[in-house]
Structure 1
Amino acid sequence: MNTVTRPRILVVGAGFAGVGCVRRLERKLAPDEADVTLVTPFSYQLYLPLLPQVASGVLTPQSVAVSLRRSKRYRTRIIPGGAIGVDLKSKVCVIRTITDQIINERYDYIVLAPGSITRTFDIPGLTEHAFGMKTLAEAAYIRDHVISQLDLADASDDPAERASRLQFVVVGGGYAGTETAACLQKLTHAAVKRYPRIDPGLIKWHLIDIAPKLMPELGDKLGRSAQEILARRGIDVSLGVSIEKAGPEEVTFTDGRVVPTRTLIWTAGVVASPLISTLGAETVRGRLAVNAEMTLPGQDGVFALGDAAAVPDEAKGEEGAICPPTAQHAMRQGTHVADNVVATLRNQPLTPYVHKDLGLVVDLGGKDAVSKPLGVELHGLPAQFAARGYHWWALRTNVAKVRVATNWTLNAVAGDDFVRTGFQARKAARLKDFEFTDAYMTPEQVRTHVEGAEHKEA
């Protein structure tokens, strides 16, 4: 087959699902069988579950950013940019490149794995004053910010300013929020020993969530255990509480409390990428409605998976159950959807995705952890070994595994590092500055744009 007639496979997103799909396609397809293209703003796969450890300085940023260009074996073409619209009728994906050029990429088969963005609500001041924990830049920025609060509090003689700089609020009692609060509290607890002018008792961490339980997926016993660990460290956990409004120097809780703070970290869940809304297709709680084979009903050559798709959870055996947006599902869906794309190319039957959840691991920093691998409840060091062992195994390359293992060992032997890198030297950045949610087109804009391009070509 020549390059003109080779099928074009376009994969959108370089998360667990997208990269897993691309690498599987490269292994299973002959070079002349199809052209594979990957659209991603950054040429690395981010290992999201370890971001709290980047924020706390246990891991360096490059440890969890696995390069997609490192190996010479891979033949996928990478387009540096973000997909901002998809026209299913014309089989065109509209892409904004990193140079701000708008291009149309035609495809025969498209795999939609754009992931998710931070879920926000219409809370006054939230997007202007809160930080997220969804990108590598945010994690690195938060680390700088937290250390800078200690520096600024140490330099200040104003008691009110000190109080606001030494209180920290994390919203979200899921894994991301709990691990973020735990890891950063450990960082500030260690760092304050190097600031003789700061009273350690002034440092206060708050973890709040509107849900009645902390990490309910772990079960009551482990959830309580995690809460007790946080309480012993002095973290104030408030459940059934959220944010009423946020300001530059204080946050108001829904129970009426006003906490002076310059640090609000928002980790209250995720929603599918806005790209999904550009398709004009059916959704389930914002995620693209697909069948068990991860194809879009009624559309030829459209596959969707990961956080952006409502993939039926066949292993649960419950009507309407969909797979949770977790890394273990995304990784397995990536390889499975690649197999289904190959089957489509070769006129073979597609198979449904079935995966039984392997359990959950929560790293609370140091020797503290709670884990539930394969339904077995673990605490302390055994849970920590399970948590870090799973993350280490799930890293895609040996280089990443060596970097992470080295960082963990160095941190265990030498302790925390309190260097501020200077990311904040120019201007403050918050939730609204990192995820570019206003970059996407509406379905009508996509259709108009594609039709205009087709008219010019004609």
Structure 2
Amino acid sequence: MNTVTRPRILVVGAGFAGVECVRRLERKLSPDEADVTLVTPFAYQLYLPLLPQVASGVLTPQSIAVSLRRSKKYRTRIIPGGAIGVDLKSKVCVIRTITDEIVNEPYDYIVLAPGSITRTFDIPGLTDHAFGMKTLAEAAYIRDHVISQLDLADASQDPVERASRLQFVVVGGGYAGTETAACLQRLTHAAVKRYPRLDPGLIKWHLIDIAPKLMPELGDKLGSSAQEILRRRGIEISLGTSIAKAGPEEVTFTDGRVIPTRTLIWTAGVVASPLIATLGAETVKGRLAVAPEMNLPGDDGVFALGDSAAVPDLAKGDGAMCPPTAQHALRQGKHVADNVIASLRGQAMKPYVHKDLGLVVDLGGTDAVSKPLGIELRGLPAQAVARGYHWSALRTNVAKTRVMTNWLLNAVAGDDFVRTGFQARKAARLKDFEYTDAYLTPEQVRAQVEGSGRPE
């Protein structure tokens, strides 16, 4: 077979789902059976659940950014960019490279795993003044920002300014928000000992969520335990509350309270990547509606999985959809690769079925709550399960070594609370990290494909 006639498999996204799919395709397909291409702006897989520990300085950014180029045996071609549109009829994916060049990439099979973006609402000032916690750059930036608030408060002679810099607001009572608030509160609690001019009592953390409970998936007992741990640390939890307005120096809650703060971290859920809307196909709450085999009904060679796909959860039944978790994404990646290979070879595809193995929440230090296989754990046993799960899920031995070394070093030596320089003069907020305006409409995709012609 020559290169032109080999089937072209295009995988969009290098998250848990996309990388697992690519690795399995490379292992199971012979080099002359198909060409595999991966579209991603960064040549690494981000281990997202450990992002709060990067923000708090427990882990270094490199330790959870697992290189896609480390192994010499992988043959996948990587296009450095992001998919901004897909023309299902012409079988072309429109890509914007990291140099802003627009290219058309043809495919025979496409696996859509573009992940999700931060869910925002039409709240005045939100995208201009809030930070997100979805990317490695955001985590590193938030760490610099939080430490800079301590530096600036320590230098300030104005008590009003000092009070506003020492109050921090986290919106979102899910795993990301709860772990972010817990880890960063530990950061400021430890760092303030290096600032003898600051009153530790002025440092206040607020965790708010519109829902009536924190992390309801944990159940009442573990959820209450998590709340008790956070409140014991001094974190003020406000449920049934959200943000009405955000400004550069204060945040207004929906219950009327006005909190003077320079730090608003928004983690109130995620939505599917805007790429899905460019297909013009059926969606379920923004996620692409797919069959249990994770293929798109009516469109040959189109598969979707992970956060951007509404994959039926056959293990639960009753029309349930798989939640957007790393656990499902990892397993879906392997399963969809098998189905792509089956389709390529003219074999029958199999539906995806996976029973949830449980939940882990790392609150920093010796605090954690976990629910592996339905068993409720707290404290050190929960922490051992949480960190053991994360450590085992890391893809390479190098990443595992880095993370374990970071954990041990932090436990023994603590943190030096050094700013790395991400805190520039111009603030970078939600709108600066997620390029939601880069995607095309279905009409623009069609015009781009027809205008340039389909490359071979």
Which category of TM-score, normalised to the shorter sequence, fits these structures? over 0.9
Counterpart residue number, 1:184 = 184
Residues in 1 aligned to 2:23 and 2:424: alpha-carbon distance in whole angstroms: 39
Counterpart residue number, 2:81 = 81
Counterpart residue number, 2:13 = 13
Counterpart residue number, 1:135 = 135
Counterpart residue number, 1:45 = 45
Counterpart residue number, 1:309 = 309
C-alpha displacement of 1:426: 3.6
C-alpha displacement of 1:364: 0.1
Counterpart residue number, 2:333 = 334
C-alpha displacement of 1:422: 1.2
* CA-to-aligned-CA distance 1:346-391 (integer Å, 9 cap, x gap): 1110000000000000000000000000000000000000000000
Residues in 2 aligned to 1:124 and 1:428: alpha-carbon distance in whole angstroms: 18
* CA-to-aligned-CA distance 1:60-113 (integer Å, 9 cap, x gap): 000000000111010000000000000000000000001110000000000000
3-state SS in 2 of match to 1:438: coil
Residues in 2 aligned to 1:321 and 1:428: alpha-carbon distance in whole angstroms: 41
3-state SS in 2 of match to 1:303: strand
Residues in 1 aligned to 2:291 and 2:248: alpha-carbon distance in whole angstroms: 45
C-alpha displacement of 1:337: 0.1
Residues in 1 aligned to 2:416 and 2:382: alpha-carbon distance in whole angstroms: 25
Counterpart residue number, 1:417 = 416
C-alpha displacement of 1:17: 0.2
Matches within 5 A, 1:259-298: 259-298=259-298
Residues in 2 aligned to 1:342 and 1:421: alpha-carbon distance in whole angstroms: 45
C-alpha displacement of 1:427: 1.6
C-alpha displacement of 1:150: 0.0
3-state SS in 1 of match to 2:437: helix
C-alpha displacement of 1:425: 2.8
Residues in 2 aligned to 1:423 and 1:440: alpha-carbon distance in whole angstroms: 27
Matches within 5 A, 1:130-169: 130-169=130-169
Matches within 5 A, 1:237-276: 237-276=237-276
Counterpart residue number, 1:406 = 405
Residues in 1 aligned to 2:272 and 2:409: alpha-carbon distance in whole angstroms: 37
* CA-to-aligned-CA distance 1:412-438 (integer Å, 9 cap, x gap): 111123001111134210000001000
1:316 aligned partner, one-letter code? K
2:161 aligned partner, one-letter code? E
3-state SS in 1 of match to 2:111: strand
* CA-to-aligned-CA distance 1:139-177 (integer Å, 9 cap, x gap): 000000000000000000101100100000000000000
C-alpha displacement of 1:454: 1.8
1:29 aligns with 2:29: yes
Q: Give runs of ≥4 in structure 1 deviating > 4 Å.
A: none
- The number of aligned residues is 456
Residues in 2 aligned to 1:207 and 1:355: alpha-carbon distance in whole angstroms: 33
TM-score (normalised: structure 1): 0.99
Counterpart residue number, 1:2 = 2
Counterpart residue number, 1:384 = 383
2:359 aligned partner, one-letter code? L
Counterpart residue number, 1:442 = 441
2:324 aligned partner, one-letter code? P
Residues in 1 aligned to 2:45 and 2:424: alpha-carbon distance in whole angstroms: 27
1:86 aligned partner, one-letter code? V
C-alpha displacement of 1:254: 0.3
3-state SS in 2 of match to 1:252: strand
Counterpart residue number, 2:451 = 452
2:363 aligned partner, one-letter code? L
Counterpart residue number, 1:375 = 374
Residues in 1 aligned to 2:358 and 2:19: alpha-carbon distance in whole angstroms: 23
3-state SS in 2 of match to 1:57: coil
Counterpart residue number, 1:99 = 99
* CA-to-aligned-CA distance 1:35-73 (integer Å, 9 cap, x gap): 000000000000000000000000000000000011101
* CA-to-aligned-CA distance 1:211-231 (integer Å, 9 cap, x gap): 000000000000000000000
C-alpha displacement of 1:120: 0.1
Residues in 1 aligned to 2:401 and 2:452: alpha-carbon distance in whole angstroms: 47
Q: What is the RMSD of the two structures over their aligned residues, measured on CA atoms? A: 0.9
Counterpart residue number, 1:347 = 346
C-alpha displacement of 1:453: 1.2
Residues in 2 aligned to 1:18 and 1:410: alpha-carbon distance in whole angstroms: 32
TM-score (normalised: structure 2): 0.99
3-state SS in 2 of match to 1:131: coil
1:187 aligned partner, one-letter code? L
* Structure 2: 5+ residue stretches without partners: none
> Sequence identity of aligned pairs in percent?
88
* CA-to-aligned-CA distance 1:216-258 (integer Å, 9 cap, x gap): 0000000000000000000000000000000000000000000
1:149 aligned partner, one-letter code? Q
